[in-house]
Structure 1
Amino acid sequence: MREHRPVLLGGRTDAEQRALADLVDRAREAAGDVPAALELAEVVGGQLPTPGDGRTGQLWSALASVAAADLTVARTLEPHLDALAILEQAGLTVEPGTWGVFAAEGPGEPLRAEPSDTTYVLSGRKHWCSLSSVLDRALISARVGDERQLFAVDLTAPGVSAVSGTWVARGLAAVDSGPVDFTDVPASAVGAPGWYLERPGFAWGGIGVAAVWFGGAVGIARRMLAASESRPPDQVALMHLGAVDAQVHAARCVLEQASYAVDAGVLSGSAGWRAALRVREVVALAAEDVLRRAAHGLGPGPLATEEEHARRVSDLELYLRQWHAERDQVALGQDVVTGDGARW
């Protein structure tokens, strides 16, 4: 069926398209099921490329394709793949199991790392720890003095305690992203202080998240198309569908261009950060417009009676809040004033 096809960024070979179609089938089978999604992540983690290896478009096509099928599966897969890419960039061996990345900052005293013999121990609370109670390991940022550093942590170790009862979200309801408390938990350094944010892959990972938003928007756009094909012509619905087509096209274009630039080696340093801000802006605004127009064009019916559509809308609305919105616009505006990237 057309709504179950892969989402392609750039020209993909026949073999790549077959692999993506198989991934979509497996993502649909795991829809809404976190344990099944984790099993899928562990299987495909070693099969999919990493950003910058010459096949970035295939990686982001995979993320978008899974997201168009189910955002719970995509939200489980994306950080696992990001963790594998970070460990590869750091030149470290990947321990088997499922991985997460807990690097967002939250309120209050930050999580701290203290040297202990040949390693570190983590103590304190870390916010925004997605699936912490079901993952095997995670890459976690913590403060070492005044600097941020990344650490690999076994989440099954004593002293790791997920804070229950804090995740009340209606979107991504199965992907509990509440805080975790750490008490003298052993941790291994991944890179030097500051390396996590300074490496080129930080910007590339941010664009990868935008590929997931894009796929979620495609899933909603496909529902709009199905509605227009199954009922008599409706000029208002067609107007919204046409506007959505243009938005999806724009989002696809910036993601494709970014994938080529990553593989060409030109998106490092300030250029990578600038590209991430631009791409995330274009894709997030497109996705928000798709959500708005789907609500206007489809009306309340699908939201009230279709589990898959209602869940996809709620999931995408929450997922998009990973975009920092006006704060990222300020950062990009500052770069326009002080940087050298505004060719226009």
Structure 2
Amino acid sequence: MNTPAKDNVDGIRRFLAQLPARPEAGQLLCEMVDAGLDRLSLPGSGQTLQRWRTLAAVAAYDLSLAKLYEAHADALAILAEAAADDIAPALSVWGVWCAEPPEARLDIRTASAEDPGRVVIDGVKAWCSGANALSHAIVSGWNADGHPCLAAVDLDQAGVTVSDEGWHAVGMAETTSVNVHFENARGIAVGGTNFYVDRPGFWQGGAGIAACWHGAAAQLASYLRHKLTGRDDPHALAHLGRADVALSASAAGLRAAAEAIDAEPTADSYRLAMRVRLATEQAAVEVMQAVGRALGAAPLCRDPWVARMMADLPVFLRQSHAERDLVALAQSTLQQAEDGEDGENYHAGEEEWRL
């Protein structure tokens, strides 16, 4: 594998800024891999904030690209966490296809008893972002014993068929998250059963998604600030103030989360990740509302970047499960209180909220 670029945020910004025209997201991801701009520090390695700043910088340029770029970086992190990073060929371009809708599940079985690391994959996988542009993917599925498992698969083989099914989106259109069909496709097992969700990197990566949301929202707020410079419009300026408050809180949460992950890289980051995702989601919604209310319809109709970002961000945000995630977080908070019950239950966990 290539030597990590150590989260070259400035290099990525220069690379994106000098593009003569905006390529399609999948093509641009391949160009970034070729340029060595895809090798990020691993989550929990002491440079988590730098990793997230890189994701935010890509998201500020284009969210479809950020979705594919983040998944590629996540795939490399998963392989590293499984001590399997040697299976990624040079300049390969990866996705992570681990959505598990009940109507689209993969069977992943051992190819032979002599080589348990080699697997055969059958079935349909849904929500396969970047399928037409990638060379490899990490896919989730179910083994012969009914347990969840992962496999790395080379997509350039006869047993893999990329369809045009399942994607009619306007927002995030260029992720092209279609269905992919596997028939006797060959792959390599990654980790053991339940590895994908049980590893520390699962929630560390989940928190990193929030960095993408934040990067897009911050760029929208920068656009709003530019448009309001020199204008004496108190109502519009109030919306800029609203965006500033939301983004300042989101940025503080992401910085604190990155620091906490680096301090305890093997700890369970579930609650931390859920908090930062939900807080950043709310900040992004506040910014989108602020832009629309302050500037009206004109930029949505006449500025292609704003129109695309305002269509893409709501779709990307739905990787959050909204109230379901809030309920799950509340249940976790109540469970912590029960586990620490000492006769004054309302004090349990109080240190997490204390200044």
Global fold match (TM > 0.5): yes
Asked if 1:189 corresponds to 2:189, the answer is yes
Per-residue deviation, 1:73: 2.1
Per-residue deviation, 1:266: 5.5
Asked if 1:338 corresponds to 2:335, the answer is yes
What does residue range 6-85 of structure 1 map to in structure 2 within 5 Å?
Answer: 19-28=8-17, 29=19, 31-34=22-25, 35-44=27-36, 47-85=39-77
- Report the counterpart of residue 233 of structure 1 in structure 2: 232
- Report the counterpart of residue 105 of structure 1 in structure 2: 100
- In the alignment, residue 245 of structure 1 is paired with which amino acid? D
- In the alignment, residue 91 of structure 1 is paired with which amino acid? A
- Report the counterpart of residue 133 of structure 1 in structure 2: 132
What does residue range 294-333 of structure 1 map to in structure 2 within 5 Å?
Answer: 294-333=291-330
- In the alignment, residue 256 of structure 2 is paired with which amino acid? Q
Contact 1:27 1:70 in 2 (8 A): no
Contact 1:83 1:101 in 2 (8 A): yes
Contact 1:67 1:73 in 2 (8 A): yes
Deviations along 1:170-213, one digit per CA (max 9) or x if unpaired, are 11211100111111111111100001100000011101111000
Deviating 4+ runs (over 3 angstroms) = 41-47, 340-344
Which sections of structure 2, spanning at least 5 residues, go unmatched?
338-348
- In the alignment, residue 95 of structure 1 is paired with which amino acid? P
Contact 1:41 1:80 in 2 (8 A): no
- Report the counterpart of residue 170 of structure 2 in structure 1: 170
Pick the structure with greater CA Rg.
2
User: Partners of 2:134 and 2:220 in 1: how far apart?
Assistant: 29
Contact 2:109 2:119 in 1 (8 A): yes
Per-residue deviation, 1:85: 0.8
Match of 2:175, SS state, is coil
- In the alignment, residue 101 of structure 1 is paired with which amino acid? V
Deviations along 1:235-265, one digit per CA (max 9) or x if unpaired, are 1110000010010001101100011111111
User: Partners of 1:16 and 1:157 in 2: how far apart?
Assistant: 33
User: Partners of 2:6 and 2:54 in 1: how far apart?
Assistant: 10
User: Partners of 1:70 and 1:131 in 2: how far apart?
Assistant: 14
User: Partners of 1:129 and 1:328 in 2: how far apart?
Assistant: 23
User: Partners of 1:27 and 1:206 in 2: how far apart?
Assistant: 25
- Report the counterpart of residue 340 of structure 2 in structure 1: none
User: Partners of 1:127 and 1:109 in 2: how far apart?
Assistant: 6
Contact 1:32 1:72 in 2 (8 A): no
- Report the counterpart of residue 7 of structure 1 in structure 2: none
Contact 1:267 1:275 in 2 (8 A): no
- In the alignment, residue 293 of structure 1 is paired with which amino acid? A
Per-residue deviation, 1:25: 2.3
- In the alignment, residue 278 of structure 1 is paired with which amino acid? R
Deviations along 1:71-106, one digit per CA (max 9) or x if unpaired, are 222122111111111111111113221000001112
User: Partners of 1:278 and 1:130 in 2: how far apart?
Assistant: 26
- In the alignment, residue 22 of structure 1 is paired with which amino acid? G
**TM-score, structure 1 normalization:** 0.90
**TM-score, structure 2 normalization:** 0.87
What does residue range 236-275 of structure 1 map to in structure 2 within 5 Å?
Answer: 236-265=235-264, 268-269=267-268, 272-275=269-272
- In the alignment, residue 251 of structure 2 is paired with which amino acid? R
Contact 2:39 2:73 in 1 (8 A): no
Query: Could you tell me the percent identity over the aligned residues?
Result: 36
Contact 2:200 2:265 in 1 (8 A): no
Contact 1:33 1:72 in 2 (8 A): no
Per-residue deviation, 1:16: 8.1
Per-residue deviation, 1:328: 0.7
User: Partners of 1:320 and 1:267 in 2: how far apart?
Assistant: 27
Match of 1:322, SS state, is coil
